[in-house]
Amino acid sequence: MSLKAILFDFDGTLADSEALHYHSWLRVLAPFGIEYSEQAFCDEFSGVPTLKTAQVLRERHQLSSDASTLCEEKNRLFVDTAATMQPRLMPYAREILEFAAQQGKLALVTGSTRAEAIPVLEHYKLLHFFDCIVTKDDVTQPKPHPEPYQQALRLLQLEPEQAIAIEDTTTGLTSGCEAGLRVMAIPNLHSAKQDFSRATWQVSSLQAAQGVLASLFSQD
């Protein structure tokens, strides 16, 4: 079955937004007197859903707030932080979107909320590339559950065999694989030590990913 669509993750794949998530969590944890270095925090929680991160932090530090409250506060602070500190795009992000959009349909499948993701896409003028966007707000069960990718496939009216997901963490890889997709993994600085053994392809950069996509589309 021919390749019809590319489904992109957002944080860590197209946008280097880990620093914003880190600074948002620091502000959540500050009233409790808890600090983490950026590297230690991002290495542990890169790709981990916000609610799961909140649950881990609450249990580890015996926090008085419940996980849902911590999660909501972090999401609110992320939007506040992003208003003054836009994340950088990952190298070659715009180029691969321009290339892929000429070949087939594109979807953004992210664990971020719409309030977190859409302003970044608008800031960098990337929103028009995507035929559909699935955020944490649009699903009941976020990654690593397959629902986000299943939702994107329904919106695109495609079968899993007709699409590829591009991810940077084991969380996203698991979501894509469980939805029946072939997944291309591009580990970043913080996810490099995670398990990508289920990936169909593993490459070092978005530029390298474009080379694989070019080969696949040329076969159709």
List pLDDT tens digits, range 121-133. 999 999 999 999 9
Q: What is the pLDDT of residue 105?
A: 98
Check whether residue 46 and residue 128 sit in a common domain: no
Check whether residue 23 and residue 105 sit in a common domain: no
Check whether residue 100 and residue 44 sit in a common domain: no
Using a pLDDT cut of 90, give the percent of the chain over it. Answer: 78
- Residue ending a domain, choose from 30, 52, 82: 82
d(CA 119, CA 111): 15
Contacts of 156 (CB under 8 A, 6+ apart): 4, 5, 105, 107, 131, 132, 163
Check whether residue 127 and residue 168 sit in a common domain: yes
- Domain of 170, CATH number, reads 3.40.50.1000
Strand pairing partners for 182?
164
Check whether residue 44 and residue 147 sit in a common domain: no
Helix axes 206-219, 93-103, angle to 10 degrees: 10
pLDDT digits (tens, 9 = 90+) for 25-36: 999 999 999 999
- Check: CB of residue 8 under 8 Å from CB of residue 210: no
In this model, does residue 97 exceed pLDDT 90?
A: yes
In this model, does residue 78 exceed pLDDT 90?
A: no
Check whether residue 112 and residue 149 sit in a common domain: yes
Check whether residue 52 and residue 140 sit in a common domain: no
Confidence of residue 80 (pLDDT cuts 50, 70, 90): confident
Q: Average pLDDT for residues 143-153, to the nearest whole number? A: 98
Whether this model's pTM surpasses 0.85: yes
**DSSP H/E element including 96:** helix 93-103
Q: What are phi and psi of 131, to 5 degrees?
A: -75, -25
Total domains present in the chain: 2
Check whether residue 183 and residue 101 sit in a common domain: yes
- Residue ending a domain, choose from 30, 47, 82: 82
Q: What is the pLDDT of residue 1?
A: 64
Check whether residue 96 and residue 195 sit in a common domain: yes
Q: Average pLDDT for residues 16-40, to the nearest whole number? A: 91
- Domain of 53, CATH number, reads 1.10.150
Check whether residue 121 and residue 35 sit in a common domain: no
Check whether residue 107 and residue 141 sit in a common domain: yes
Q: Average pLDDT for residues 76-96, to the nearest whole number? A: 88
Q: Average pLDDT for residues 49-75, to the nearest whole number? A: 94
pLDDT digits (tens, 9 = 90+) for 167-196: 999 999 999 999 999 999 999 988 999 999
Q: What is the pLDDT of residue 14?
A: 96
Check whether residue 149 and residue 215 sit in a common domain: yes
Confidence of residue 207 (pLDDT cuts 50, 70, 90): very high
In this model, does residue 220 exceed pLDDT 80?
A: no
Give the domain range for residue 102: 5-16+88-219
